[in-house]
Chains A and B, each alone.
Chain A
Amino acid sequence: MNGYAAFLKKEMYEFAKTYRLIIMLALSAVFGIANPLVAKLTPEILESLMTDGIVITIPEPTVYDSWQQFFKNATQMGLIVMVILFSGVMSTELAKGTLINLLTKGLSRAAVILSKYTCMVLVWTASIVLSFGLTYGYTLYLFPGEEASNLLFSVFCLWLFGLFLQAVILLSAVITKTGYGCLLITSAAAAACMIADIIPAAHRYNPVSLAADNMALITGAAEPSSLCYAILVSCMFSVIFVLLSLSVFRKKQL
């Protein structure tokens, strides 16, 4: 595969130079720090707002509140920002024609697709690691002595769902040629997963469970084994989507 390493380097460089890497990492860092802090401070903030005569009893915050914040932010803001930042992954190159020069230099089309996917995965992984690391450390400091079960596994599921979503982004970017088209297809795919989740029987197999059952996992309400099919399906579809992207792009007239 000609030029994979060189093109991957260029992708990373581009990510840094166009501020997308900074946005992604800064957001992860902010959330990482804010998650335990918000969990700790929410009762106090509410208390300060309370006027005489109204009494609200707020339970003492626990380590679970901190992780609740983490998964809420990561699955909502985190994933949405990621999709928006990556939606232009192919369209800018195809619209401007910057790829033509490099393809006629012998860069293989497979290298383009795979290095773009690799770059997305690397950025997503770095963001999750950063955000998780900060939340973990800060939670340990603010809620000493408390522990959550299946924490790493739960984060792994979220990470894997990100990979699945990125494969969807990649395929729709290759098919549509425009950034908005890519956003549309990706959102439609995510919506389809969520709608399918209404059917209780589908939940076991639905990739979206990987980003929905995280709290249940760490509180012990769900067993890791309950997600094994969802993991399998997500992996399978990620691979299929990347392979499809490869074959669609190989035949694309530029």
Chain B
Amino acid sequence: MGILEVNRLYKSFGSHEVLKGLDMDVPEHSIFGFVGQNGAGKTTTMKIILGLLKPDSGSVTVCGEKVTYGETRTNRFIGFLPDVPEFYGYMRPLEYLKLCGEITGIEKNRIRSRSEELLELVGLKNEKKRIGGFSRGMKQRLGIAQALLNEPRILICDEPTSALDPVGRKEILDILLAAKGKTTILFSTHILSDVERICDHIAVLHGGRLALCGTLSEIKERHRYNGFVLEFGNEETASMFYDIEELKHPSVNMSRDGNTVTVLTGDRGMGGNFLLDVLSRRRIVPLKFTVLEPTLESLFMEVVR
């Protein structure tokens, strides 16, 4: 049983159906990448988890407790970082964290020490400016600090890196990685390299449902198609290989580009061994024989197409 479970979630805005029976299970202590195109329903899902939006049907449980719309007790387990976190511009970082702490009901001394600890973690310790003068990256970092203040069991981040420059992105990802182990992180994004960098689990939301779900390696394994790239010494050998009769089969798709031939086979029986066999029988030695790894991008494209 996961720390966060989403069951058969439906939600539409007017006639536009955003979620069509979404099921999702987030295991504890994972960094869960929640991927989807713009408008796929990532933010909607998160807002339902937080009790800010009312689902048409379906349910969400957080740490075994059911989420109710409006005011939900389950939010005490959750820290939330909105995509563009907004603060009161007239406050300073410490003042804001103090307000958050008081609302959460943390005791006074604890707020102070915890705030300083967190501001140190996100690199805002010596920032005495009012939040109104903060850059986006700084606001995002303060957002993480406020989300971690109550030591949540789940940290929910809605596209925390989308609006940031490369340096800001790296900083945020490093902070999230540092928080791993202490908390479970659900992290929505459409930047796939971010997912590959820090996530161990991934779910792709498409068409209102999860089109892909699992650990990164599992998904890659499951979607490993038999693809091979062979590079030959010269074009003649390449075209010789390209024209071999045994490879003219409906389940084999070949393309040649100069010295390189790409072979995609749909038939498990016609995998790497078969190709090596053919090569050895014809006494052809390729310069390179590479097995194609599916990339997250190719998987994503395949799913959303």
Residues of A within 8 A of B (CB): 2-3, 5-7, 9-10, 13-14, 17-18, 96-98, 100-109, 250-251, 253-254
Contacts and interface: CB of A to CB of B under 8 A. Distances in A.
A187 B134 CA distance: 37
Size range of the interface on B? 20 to 34
28 contacts: A3-B105, A5-B102, A6-B102, A9-B99, A10-B88, A10-B99, A13-B90, A14-B88, A14-B90, A97-B86, A98-B87, A98-B88, A100-B86, A101-B80, A101-B82, A101-B85, A101-B143, A101-B146, A102-B99, A102-B103, A105-B100, A105-B146, A105-B149, A106-B105, A109-B71, A254-B47, A254-B52, A254-B53
Contacts of A17: 90
B146 A250 contact: no
Interface string B47-60: 10010111000000
Among A3, A103, A251, find the residue whose CB has the most chain B CB atoms closer than 10 A. Answer: A103
Contact of A2 (B52, B87, B103, B143): B103
A2 B90 contact: no
B37 interface: no
Contacts of B87: 98, 101
Contacts of B54: 253
Contacts of A253: 52-54
A17 B130 CA distance: 12
A195 to B, nearest CB: 37
A253 B11 CA distance: 13
Nearest to B99: A10
A245 B92 CA distance: 31
B237 interface: no
Given A250-B70, A250-B71, A253-B53, A96 B103 contact: no
Contacts of A18: 90
Interface in B46-104: 47, 50, 52-54, 70-71, 75-76, 78, 80, 82, 84-88, 90-91, 99-100, 102-104
Contacts of A3: 102-103, 105
Nearest to A97: B86
Nearest to A104: B80
A106 B104 contact: yes
Nearest to B50: A104
B150 interface: yes
A8 to B, nearest CB: 11
Given A10-B88, A104-B78, 12 more contacts: A3-B102, A3-B103, A3-B105, A5-B102, A6-B102, A7-B103, A13-B91, A97-B84, A98-B86, A100-B80, A105-B146, A109-B70
A109 B72 CA distance: 11
A106 B91 CA distance: 20
B99 A251 contact: no
Contact of B86 (A2, A5, A96): A96
A104 to B, nearest CB: 4
A102 B47 CA distance: 14
**Which of B50, B100, B143: most chain A Cβ within 10 A?**
B100
Nearest to A252: B70
Contact of B71 (A96, A101, A108): A108
A41 B102 CA distance: 53
The 8 closest A-B CB pairs, nearest first, are A6-B102, A3-B103, A17-B90, A104-B80, A96-B86, A97-B86, A98-B86, A107-B103
A177 B82 CA distance: 20
Nearest to A5: B102
Contacts of B53: 253-254
A108 B91 CA distance: 21
A251 B75 CA distance: 17
Nearest to A102: B103
Contacts of B103: 2-3, 6-7, 102, 105-107
Given A10-B88, A97-B82, A102 B52 contact: no
Contacts of A109: 70-71
A236 B21 CA distance: 46
A103 to B, nearest CB: 7
A186 B5 CA distance: 44
Contacts of B91: 13
A107 B53 CA distance: 16
A97 B103 CA distance: 17
A10 B102 CA distance: 11
A10 B91 CA distance: 10
A200 B132 CA distance: 53
A100 B50 CA distance: 10
Contacts of A98: 86-88
Contacts of A7: 103
Contacts of A104: 50, 52, 75, 78, 80
B147 to A, nearest CB: 8
Contacts of A100: 52, 80, 82, 86
B86 A101 contact: yes
A10 B101 CA distance: 13
Nearest to A7: B103
